[in-house]
Amino acid sequence: MSGWMLIDVALFAILLCSGIAIAKIRQLFAVAMLSGIFSLTSACIFVMQDAVDVAFTEAAVGAGMTTVLLLGALALTRTREKLTPTARSVPALLVALTTGALLVHASGDLPAFGIEDSPVQTHPVTERYLVSSVEEIGVPNVVTSVLASYRGYDTFGEVVVIFTAAVAVLMLLGQRAPREVRERAAPMRDRQRVLRVIAKLLIPFILLFGLYVQFHGDYGPGGGFQAGVIFAAGVVLYALVFGLDAARAAVPMRALRPLLAAGVLLYGGVGVATLLLGGAFLDYDLLAAEDPVAGQHLGILLVELGVGITVTSAMIMLFYGFAGRGIGRGVGRS
């Protein structure tokens, strides 16, 4: 027990230090890196608290995608922040301290950490998810079965949210601003030989791993979101090493736009199909002729595929939006 607590204490200490450093440091590139460290450490803490799917997603999304997007935004804006005047920081500090004190006082009503008879654990839905799901769905990863089947409507809403965000970023950043074209000088390309070789070596395995995570989400941590982000990370790596134009030639926007919509359509299409087969929206039992469990498996497979396709396209489109916008005014000079 005390060994785990030491790990917990160390991880929380790193989190607290990174959090306070994020608040105090004004050089925004450093803050972007620190936020990546923050996300990765929180992913470790999620593993300590048995949330392996969440840790996977947080590591991929928080430490990967968010850092890339932050760096892209910082390259287009200023990288140094102005000093916060005390007229703003003192009232904010007071509000934060008061709210924190209230929350800590209120947290006394929460059940103690980790006990077995808290309201969360004793609610009848726990037994439904952990015990009945074996007969009803038969998928070992309970998080996947809850995400895709029991709470499929929430996940549908989430896929639409990602779709909307990608469309909105496309509207905001999609049109190329006039950019200065900087051809990589030849000596630079020579110096990048190591990077190019390693990238060529790794990208196939990254994409393969994305496929593995997509389809293995039933049996281990994984699923559509993580797979989508890993796929996008592979393409982002390609773009970072070989140039945005090469990436845009390999994975063009005219392929991504229909894919983005295709994922949402697939998800909604499964729901409409079950409606047409006579059941409720997203009632997977009806998808296979006589066997509800097989129907559930098929439904979860299709739905997760839809999620994976949309998340991949959305993340790549977000990256293209930020990276393709061009050099903005005052980059890094203020």
Partner 1 sequence: MSLLQSILQITADLALGAGVLLVLTGAAGLHRLSEFFMRTHAASITDSAGAGLVILGLLLRSEEFATALRLLLILLFLLFTSPTASHALAQAALGDGLKPRTGKPHARDGAQTP
Partner 2 sequence: MSLLSYYNYWIAIVLMMVGLYVVMSHANLVKKMIGLNVFQVAVFMLFISLGKVRGGTAPILDPAFTTYSHPLPHVLILTAIVVGVATTALGLALAVRIHEAYGTTEEQDALKRDDAESGAR
Q: Which residues bind partner 1 (CB under 8 A)?
A: 188, 191-192, 194-195, 198, 201-202
Cβ at position 233, least distance to partner 2 in Å:
13
- Judged by beta carbon distances under 5 to 8 A according to partner kind, the member of partner 1, partner 2, none in contact with residue 96 is partner 2
Of 58 and 283, CB closest to partner 2:
58
The secondary structure of 29-86 as a DSSP string is HHHHHHHHHHHHHHHHHHHHTT-HHHHHHHIIIIIIIIHHHHHHHHHHS-SBPPPPPH
Taking the C-alpha atoms of residue 193 and residue 312, their distance in angstroms, rounded to an integer, is 28
Closest among 264, 266, 286 to 275, alpha carbons compared: 286
- The nearer residue to partner 1, 232 or 287, going by C-beta atoms, is 232
The C-alpha atoms of residue 47 and residue 49 are separated, in whole angstroms, by 5
CB of 244 to partner 2, least distance (A): 16
Please choose which of partner 1, partner 2, none residue 304 contacts, taking the beta carbon within 5 to 8 angstroms, the exact cut-off set by kind: none
CB burial of residue 77 (10 Å; 0-12, 13-18, 19+): middle
Q: Is 154 exposed, middle or buried (0-12, 13-18, 19+ CB in 10 A)?
A: exposed
Q: Return the one option of partner 2, partner 1, none that residue 93 interacts with (CB less than 5 to 8 A, by type).
A: partner 2
Instruction: Kindly write down the DSSP assignment for every residue of 268-331, as one continuous string.
Output: HHHHHHHHHTTS-TT-GGGSSSS-HHHHHHHHHHHHHHHHHHHHHHHHHHHHHHHHTT---TTT
198 binds, among partner 2, partner 1, none (CB under 5 to 8 A by kind): partner 1
Smallest gap, in angstroms, from Cβ of residue 93 to partner 2? 6
Pairwise CA distance, residues 10 & 152, whole Å = 37
The binding track of 93-122 with respect to partner 2, each residue x by CB under 8 A or -, is: x-xxx-xx--xx--xx-xxxxxxx-x-xx-
Does 333 help bind partner 2 (rule: CB under 8 A)?
A: no
Q: Which is nearer to partner 1, 66 or 192 (CB)?
A: 192
Closer residue to partner 1, CB minimum distance, 83 or 194: 194
Residue whose CB is less far from partner 2, 87 or 289 = 87
Nearest approach, Cβ of residue 67 and partner 2 (Å): 10
Of residues 240 through 279, those in contact with partner 2 by CB under 8 A are none
